[in-house]
Chains A and B, each alone.
Chain A
Amino acid sequence: MSRLPITKTPKAYVGGAFIRSESARVYPLKDAAGNFFGNIPQCTRKDLRNAVEAAAKAGPGWAKRTAYNRGQILYRLGEMLEARAAELADAIALGGAAKAAAAREVAATVDRLVYYAGWTDKYEQVLGNVNPVAAPYFNFTVTEPMGIVGVLAPEEAPLLALVSLIAPAITSGNSVVALASTAQPYPAILLGEMLATSDLPGGVVNLLTGFRQELVPTFATHTHLRAVSGVANADERRVLALGAADSIKRLHLLKTEEATDWFDDAAQSVYAVRATVEFKTTWHPIGS
């Protein structure tokens, strides 16, 4: 007897829940051979707004976790990905990548998570400082997470680039609203399922799928997003710069026109963590 086909409804991951777009819109995803694979949520600015609300709720709790605990959770997320590596590789191969290249991307992604898991309780020692001052005071510079960070993932390296942008932001206790690759959203959708089973609190990472031209202007103007990091083309960079100036947010943008090697060691750094923290300097009397 033939079974009924069990097809999957890919969903975005917002506030720890799997959601369709509030607009109910979807766009079809085809595999490299041109066969229909699934309908991907075409998220709107309202979905982005809801994701920011979810991130705002989750953020303070995440930032309050100890650095050690954040590291453990990031490492466990790596474990979740490792266990489902084959499935993730298939998802990447859907876009036309060779099997071996897809497996390599998954391995690099897991390694990247482990890399930032290691940094959670160490970046403060590198980025913070006790400043020498000519008075009987201690003068400390310490870091604080910014709050909610927007992430614009590039079209290529749909898993590795996305994780490379999200991981440094959550390392320091930020929460993230990320827009996945439009052409290859399926690895991000699987990533959402793994985030849900990692110990990362719901809402710390929110993954949206959809069209960049519909969402980038809202990423630019939403005043609750404190920074946007990612990859953008010249037009998008202009929109983002204008919106960021109005809402006073930081931008850390790579250029679409200049290829980024996400596999390279240069794609991971404590300076990526620095990009989404604010520095606070305090004076404290030394006493006698």
Chain B
Amino acid sequence: MLARSHPAALRRLFDEVGTVDCVGVEARVAKYTTRSIKKASKLWGLKTAVSMVDLTTLEGKDTPGKVASLCRKALQPHDPALGVPQVAAVCVYPAMVRHARKALGRDATVRIASVATAFPSGQAPLKTRLGEVKAAVADGADEIDMVINRGAFLAGEFGEMQDEIRAVVAACGRATLKVILEVSELETYDNIRAASFLAMRVIREGDFIKTSTGKTSLNATLGNNQVMIEAIRDHYLDTGISIAMKPAGGIRTAKQALQFLIAIKETLGDAWLTNTRYRFGASALLNDLIRQIEKEKTGAYQAPYYFSEATESY
């Protein structure tokens, strides 16, 4: 039924990049949740996950003060004696980038990511979107999270979609780019795979593809994560270009994070188990990771209020 309604352009693209075996993907990811990760490997996984977190606040009520406390939490998520690493980045709106830069300082290892391009809808003129990207980079953003033009993709206007991504790549300069596919609006695994390829062909080595904005009902799942990392694998085997991955939204517990790491380990291998190639877009996740690390260290289950306030509840 879906194939019938697809424009010819989309069908040609499917022929080129291949389609997804939905049942196979679902069966594959269901297995990830059955792996038993304990003790030292669990602790390693938890700490690795902390180092991959893009600590995020994307709300209309964000203030400079809230961003500053987010940054302090990013620099030191927990008691340093426990060996909890810093997170990978903070992720804020463009208007908050300069406040984040002020809070983190010039030489911080924690990077500043900014959503730009009329996040989350992307429904603004291209000129406006590019201006937003340039402004964020000028204010000190190290990474830009852009949304693709889903409307263009679904209409089969791939050239337009790719040209826009190219333009944003150019506007980014030295900043890393993350391309948000917004999987919930792409509707099928086939579309997710196709969109992944379209994006990966125009971005640079080390740039990211990202599942979603976190602003829609359906966010990162093991299923769409799997489709995207398999696309990354296939693209890497074809071209030798390694693209990074960022699931975002809906990953709230340490257990989920470990399952995503398992997916990476078993699909892309150890080379992707680093925060230059894999990130979690999350806010509540960090506290749960720290809570589980503390539990591994002390042996006692921890109350959530033993930890500094979760960034979602500022």
> Interface on A for B, CB 8 Å cutoff?
45, 49, 52, 56, 218, 221-224, 243, 246-247
Contact = CB atoms under 8 A, between A and B. Distances in A.
A49 B300 contact: no
B221 interface: no
Interface stretch (B48-56, B230-238, B270-278, B301-309): B301-309
Interface centre among A45, A223, A243, A246 (most CB of B within 10 A): A223
A52 B301 contact: yes
B299 interface: yes
A223 B299 contact: no
Contacts of B303: 223-224
A222 to B, nearest CB: 5
Interface of B: 299-304, 306
Contacts of B304: 56, 224
Contacts of B306: 223
A223 B294 CA distance: 12
Contacts of B302: 223-224
Nearest to B305: A224
A interface, over-half SS = helix
Contacts of B299: 221
Nearest 5 pairs between A and B by C-beta? A224-B303, A221-B300, A222-B301, A223-B303, A49-B301
Given A221-B301, A246-B300, 17 more contacts: A45-B301, A56-B304, A218-B301, A221-B299, A221-B300, A222-B301, A223-B300, A223-B301, A223-B302, A223-B303, A223-B306, A224-B301, A224-B302, A224-B303, A224-B304, A243-B300, A247-B300
A224 B294 CA distance: 14
22 contacts: A45-B301, A49-B301, A52-B301, A56-B304, A218-B301, A221-B299, A221-B300, A221-B301, A222-B300, A222-B301, A223-B300, A223-B301, A223-B302, A223-B303, A223-B306, A224-B301, A224-B302, A224-B303, A224-B304, A243-B300, A246-B300, A247-B300
A79 B175 CA distance: 67
Interface centre among B299, B300, B301, B303 (most CB of A within 10 A): B301
Contacts of A52: 301
B297 to A, nearest CB: 13
A49 B301 CA distance: 7
B166 to A, nearest CB: 47
A243 B306 CA distance: 16
A218 B300 CA distance: 7
A56 B300 CA distance: 17
Nearest to B301: A222
Contacts of A222: 300-301
A45 B301 CA distance: 9
A281 B293 CA distance: 36
Contacts of A45: 301
A7 B90 CA distance: 56
Contacts of B301: 45, 49, 52, 218, 221-224
A243 B301 CA distance: 11
B301 to A, nearest CB: 5
Contacts of A56: 304
Contacts of B300: 221-223, 243, 246-247
Contacts of A49: 301
Nearest to A46: B301
A144 B301 CA distance: 24
A84 to B, nearest CB: 34
A243 B299 CA distance: 11
B21 to A, nearest CB: 31
Nearest to A222: B301
A221 B302 CA distance: 9
Nearest to B295: A49
A132 B301 CA distance: 42
B82 to A, nearest CB: 15
Nearest to A52: B301
Nearest to B303: A224
Contacts of A243: 300
